[in-house]
A and B are shown apart, each in its own frame.
Chain A
Amino acid sequence: MKTRKSIDPFWWSLFGTGGVIAALCLPALLFLNGVAIPLGWIEAPSYEHVLTLVKNSLTRLFLFVVISLSLFHWAHRFRFTLYDGLQLKHLNQLIAVLCYGTAMIGTIASLYTLWGL
């Protein structure tokens, strides 16, 4: 952890915050949206209800933070997994660009989607 920190505290802080947000929020969102509602355990909220909900600024901000920071959490962690696990140290730069780049694209796409509603 120490070496990671010294390499780039900025990415590490995004990784850390994203890790907390993902740990707290994703299981509930995933369970409800992807398992409980599709299986009919819980009645799906209506289109209008979801639309009204997402049009609320606080919901938008929440979803933006969840999506973007989850992606930056992945980017940093996955980068070092490839690094340590598969020893792709010679591809360091390429991997970093691909990982953080994907997170940035997702962030821009979520901004565009959420505020285009």
Chain B
Amino acid sequence: MTINTQYTKFRPQRYQTRVPIFWWVHKWAHLRFITRELTSVFVAIYAFVLLFQLWALNQGAETYALFLAWLRTPISIGLHMVALLFVIFHSITWFNLAPKALVLRLGTKRVPDAVLIVLNYLAWGVLSVVIAWIMLKA
């Protein structure tokens, strides 16, 4: 496994133009790109929140109740709303890019991008309903 790719090895110093660190704030497309990449931070944070919830569940009814009480605080709700926006942005950008990563063929014909995108959104909708149904059925 080679992690270090030795970026500058084949790029002599004299050919390097300096790029400012915040190169991505000046153009909407670049800012959107960075925002899209940063959705992953919220994905990870929520994975840990979920893990924490399972841990609380593991500790017993009292700890779990404390955790639910924390979820009801305005700070938690606010943070979750922000995270929800980012996670939804992740889903949308991910599904819209799916045809670029996956080329499906039916016979000799390529399945149109729009069909793939619609299928992704359908799967998203169906799975969300299934998750809600399993979680909430009494």
Report which A residues bind B (CB closer than 8 A). 7-8, 16, 18-20, 22-35, 37-39, 42-47, 49-51, 53-54, 59, 63, 66-68, 70-71, 73-75, 77-78, 80-81, 85-87, 89, 92-93, 96, 102-103, 106, 109-110, 113-114, 116-117
Contact = CB atoms under 8 A, between A and B. Distances in A.
| Max chain B C-beta neighbours (<10 A), residue from A20, A24, A32, A66 | A24
B13 to A, nearest CB: 14
A58 to B, nearest CB: 10
A74 B54 contact: no
A86 B44 CA distance: 20
A29 B84 contact: no
Interface residues of B, number: 57
Contacts of A63: 50, 54
B94 A70 contact: no
Given A27-B84, A66-B50, 5 more contacts: A34-B49, A35-B77, A38-B76, A39-B77, A92-B5
Given A23-B95, A47-B65, A77-B40, A93 B4 contact: yes
A117 B58 contact: yes
Given A80-B37, A89-B7, A25 B135 contact: no
A27 B57 contact: no
Contacts of B46: 26, 29-30, 34, 70
B51 A25 contact: no
B124 A23 contact: yes
B124 A110 contact: no
Interface string B92-111: 00110000010000000000
Interface string B108-138: 0000000000000001100110011011101
Contacts of B19: 87
Nearest to B69: A38
Contacts of B24: 85
A70 B128 CA distance: 17
A47 B72 CA distance: 16
